[in-house]
Amino acid sequence: MLDVKRINDTIAAISTAVALGQGSIAIVRVSGPSAERIGRQVFSIPGTQRWESHRIIYGHVIDPTSRERIDEALLLIMKAPRSFTGEDVIEFHCHGGLICVQRVLELVLSQGARRALPGEFSQRAVLNGRIDLTRAEAISTLIGARSRRVTQLAMVSLTGAVYKEITRIKERLLEQLAELEAHLDFEEDLLPLDERIVKNNLESIYQDLIQLVMDSNRSAILYRGLEVALIGRPNVGKSSLLNLFSRREKAIVTDLPGTTRDLLESEIIVQGVPITLVDTAGIQFTGDIVEKLGIQRSRQVMMSADAIILVFDLTEGWTSAEEDLIREIPEGTILLIAGNKSDKCPLRHNTPVSKIFNQSWIFPVSARTGEGEDSILSELLNRCGANENQDIRLSLNSRQRDLAKEAATFLNHTLITIERNLPIDFWTIDLRQAIAILTELTGENISEVTLDRIFSRFCIGK
Ligand SMILES: Nc1nc2c(c(=O)[nH]1)N(C=O)[C@@H](CNc1ccc(C(=O)N[C@@H](CCC(=O)O)C(=O)O)cc1)CN2
Ligand SMILES: Nc1nc2c(ncn2[C@@H]2O[C@H](COP(=O)(O)OP(=O)(O)OP(=O)(O)O)[C@@H](O)[C@H]2O)c(=O)[nH]1
Ligand SMILES: [K+]
Ligand SMILES: [Mg+2]
């Protein structure tokens, strides 16, 4: 179990995204034993508004030393334990932008609060038993989500679904462990242990755990996303396709071969999957030093991308240059072949192209008319296994998934131990390990160092 850590300092941070000239309201959040004192020291309230929990009061943030008015603001009071962190919390709802809210934060810091570390409010919420670790992680996922699908899955975890599922599995394991231990302690008094029942129960729990791991593997692509490179000779229309897919004129397009010199990234979301498209310099032999360096970068992306869309020009046909390019694509990289400019030169679907990749088909597309866009993108997702995650209701993040996998491995060892007819006290060793790992997953039994590491990846102010 987590030690209830004594937290005796007060932390503060800007908890909203701030940008120059943007966001009309920004929040400074203060949590800890001095929150209320600091609030009273720097906030001046006109009239007869009452300083009460879960109330908003209107007033001015004033520097008590210089008497300077820093901002006109609203103050929200949440008294312990009825707050996100479980501590006394006050929030200044200030004017947005960059400077004003910074000044309010600095004033709060000068009154005895300490700048919060990334994720420290959430960490306190966990340490004070307000939320478990999986819910805290869900908040971080929610904030970092690049697609609606991820926000939906994060909300499921935030309502406690991962916590409940893991806790249920853990309790089933504890039941089996209790059964075995009772047998070890009072062997003579009990009926002989029916090892088939224990084995069946453990097997069924193992299956549930593996199912959860597999679902999480399938959903990983939603978080990780895909890097997809547009590769091809100059002038085949790579940049034009990037612009089509991103719905804006991001890349320069001209009829001069060698227009694109540098890598250009554009992020799009297709069926909930974030795809980083990379436009590259057209690959050809050249004496131009700048173009040459650009082409080197094209080749580097070819090596690292999850998938490649090899673009060629249908009006020029499939040439030996394309055949050479295809040989450079690393084994295991997903490859799609786009025959561009279909508006000028129609082509029937499913025409095989290369002798090397004889299962590759041309997708006729037109950057000009948009023809073929849907088919090539949905085939891309198909080939990357991204269409298989629509049905997932529960997904673990990579930390949780690795632990679930580890617990399943220990469970598997237990099953092997039973099959080999080893003594019962041997069975319990791996079973206890599996249980311990699941309590690490939910954060009930986790080292302080690990916890610090997890929260350090959260954003500041969360
Ligand atoms: N201004 C503001 N908006 C916010 C947050 C916040 O901290 N401040 N949140 C922060 O992430 C999220 C909302 N989550 C919250 C979760 C719990 C409590 C809270 O005070 N809980 C108490 C009181 C509940 C009650 O009175 O019934 C509790 O659980 O005891 C507040 C916000 C998103 N929006
Ligand atoms: N008709 C037609 N023309 C296209 C299409 N796509 C691109 N083009 C034209 O082809 C020329 C080259 O397009 P780019 O997008 O610059 O080609 P690229 O592959 O990025 O070229 P580099 O950056 O030089 O390697 C431009 O004149 C485009 O307008 C298309 O689908 N149909
Ligand atoms: K070009
Ligand atoms: Mg280009």
Here the CATH number for the domain that contains residue 405 is: 1.20.120.430
Q: Are 333 and 384 in contact (CB under 8 A)?
A: no
- My answer on whether 177 and 244 are in the same domain is no
Characterise 259 by phi-psi region: left (phi > 0), alpha (psi -120 to 50), beta (else).
Answer: alpha
The 8-class DSSP code of residue 140 comes to H
This model's pTM is above 0.95: no
Whether ligand 2 lies within 6 angstroms of the CB of 250 is answered as no
Give the SS3 label for residue 389: helix
**Residue 249: what are its φ and ψ, rounded to 5°?**
-85, 75
Give residue-wise pLDDT tens across range 336-367: 999 999 999 876 555 556 555 555 678 999 99
Which of 79, 84, 93, 94 should be mutated for ligand 1, with most atoms under 8 A from CB? 84
- My answer on whether 308 and 430 are in the same domain is no
Q: Is residue 146 domain-resident?
A: no
Q: Is residue 238 domain-resident?
A: yes
Q: Which ligand is the nearest neighbour of the Cα of 311?
A: 2
Give the pLDDT band (50/70/90) at residue 2: very low
Residue type, 360: S
**273 DSSP β-pair partners:** 270
Tell me, what's the pLDDT at 1? 39
Q: Is residue 66 domain-resident?
A: yes
Average pLDDT over residues 34-38: 98
**Residue 83 CA: which ligand 1 atom is closest?**
20
Tell me, what's the pLDDT at 347? 65
Q: Is it the case that residue 4 has pLDDT exceeding 60?
A: no
Whether ligand 2 lies within 6 angstroms of the CB of 373 is answered as no
Whether ligand 1 lies within 6 angstroms of the CB of 141 is answered as no
- My answer on whether 312 and 368 are in the same domain is yes
Whether ligand 2 lies within 6 angstroms of the CB of 205 is answered as no
Between 194 and 457, residue with greater pLDDT: 457
- My answer on whether 356 and 273 are in the same domain is yes
Q: Per the structure block, which two tokens stand in for 323?
A: 């055949």
Residue whose Cα lies nearest atom 34 of ligand 1: it is 84
Give the SS3 label for residue 461: coil
Tell me, what's the pLDDT at 423? 87
ipTM confidence: 0.84
**Residue 139 CA: which ligand 1 atom is closest?**
11
Q: Is residue 459 domain-resident?
A: no
Residue whose Cα lies nearest atom 10 of ligand 1: it is 84
Residue type, 220: A
Separation of CA 152 and ligand 1 centre (Å): 19
- My answer on whether 385 and 427 are in the same domain is no
Give the pLDDT band (50/70/90) at residue 6: low
Show which of 98, 132, 166 is a domain's final residue: 132
Separation of CA 357 and ligand 4 centre (Å): 25
- My answer on whether 270 and 407 are in the same domain is no
Whether ligand 2 lies within 6 angstroms of the CB of 340 is answered as yes
Q: Is it the case that residue 190 has pLDDT exceeding 70?
A: no
Tell me, what's the pLDDT at 331? 87
Distance CA 216, CA 89 (A): 35
Q: Which ligand is the nearest neighbour of the Cα of 83?
A: 1
Whether ligand 1 lies within 6 angstroms of the CB of 128 is answered as no
- My answer on whether 119 and 193 are in the same domain is no
Q: Per the structure block, which two tokens stand in for 377?
A: 């993108």
In sequence order, the 6+-apart residues with CB closer than 8 A to the CB of 429 are: none
Give the SS3 label for residue 72: strand
- My answer on whether 13 and 112 are in the same domain is yes
Q: Is residue 137 domain-resident?
A: no
Whether ligand 1 lies within 6 angstroms of the CB of 55 is answered as no
**Residue 122 CA: which ligand 1 atom is closest?**
11
Distance CA 120, CA 31 (A): 10
Q: Is residue 334 domain-resident?
A: yes
Q: Is residue 109 domain-resident?
A: yes
**268 DSSP β-pair partners:** 275
Whether ligand 2 lies within 6 angstroms of the CB of 52 is answered as no
**Residue 54 CA: which ligand 1 atom is closest?**
26
Q: Which ligand is the nearest neighbour of the Cα of 119?
A: 1
The 8-class DSSP code of residue 387 comes to G
- My answer on whether 59 and 174 are in the same domain is no
The 8-class DSSP code of residue 37 comes to H
Of the given ranges (93-107, 147-161, 321-335), which has the lowest mean pLDDT? 321-335
CATH code (residue 65): 3.30.1360.120
Q: Which residues surround ligand 4, an ion (CB under 5 A)?
A: 238-239, 259-260
Separation of CA 78 and ligand 1 centre (Å): 9
Distance CA 315, CA 338 (A): 13
Q: Which ligand is the nearest neighbour of the Cα of 316?
A: 2
Average pLDDT over residues 116-142: 97
Q: Which ligand is the nearest neighbour of the Cα of 313?
A: 2
Whether ligand 1 lies within 6 angstroms of the CB of 84 is answered as yes
Which residues constitute the domain of residue 185?
155-221+397-443
**Residue 81 CA: which ligand 1 atom is closest?**
30
Q: Are 398 and 220 in contact (CB under 8 A)?
A: yes
Between 174 and 386, residue with greater pLDDT: 174
Which residue in 203, 182, 200 sits closest to 191, CA to CA?
182
Total number of domains constituting the chain? 3
What is the distance between the terminal CA atoms of the chain, rounded to a whole angstrom?
24
Give the pLDDT band (50/70/90) at residue 51: very high
Q: Are 442 and 134 in contact (CB under 8 A)?
A: yes
- My answer on whether 72 and 209 are in the same domain is no
Range list of H helices, 371-442:
373-383, 398-419, 424-441
Separation of CA 177 and ligand 4 centre (Å): 63
Which residue in 365, 392, 391, 369 sits closest to 378, CA to CA?
365
Q: Is residue 423 domain-resident?
A: yes
Separation of CA 238 and ligand 2 centre (Å): 7
**69 DSSP β-pair partners:** 62
Distance CA 34, CA 117 (A): 17
CATH code (residue 338): 3.40.50.300
Q: Which ligand is the nearest neighbour of the Cα of 234?
A: 2
Average pLDDT over residues 132-143: 97
- My answer on whether 55 and 113 are in the same domain is yes
Residue whose Cα lies nearest atom 22 of ligand 2: it is 234
Show which of 73, 99, 132 is a domain's final residue: 132
Q: In what order do the strands lie in the sheet with 273-279?
A: 264-270, 273-279, 226-232, 307-313, 334-340, 362-364
- My answer on whether 108 and 122 are in the same domain is yes
Q: Are strands 69-78 and 89-95 parallel, antiparallel or unpaired?
A: antiparallel
Give the SS3 label for residue 448: helix
Distance CA 338, CA 277 (A): 14
Separation of CA 259 and ligand 3 centre (Å): 5
Percent of the chain with pLDDT over 70: 94
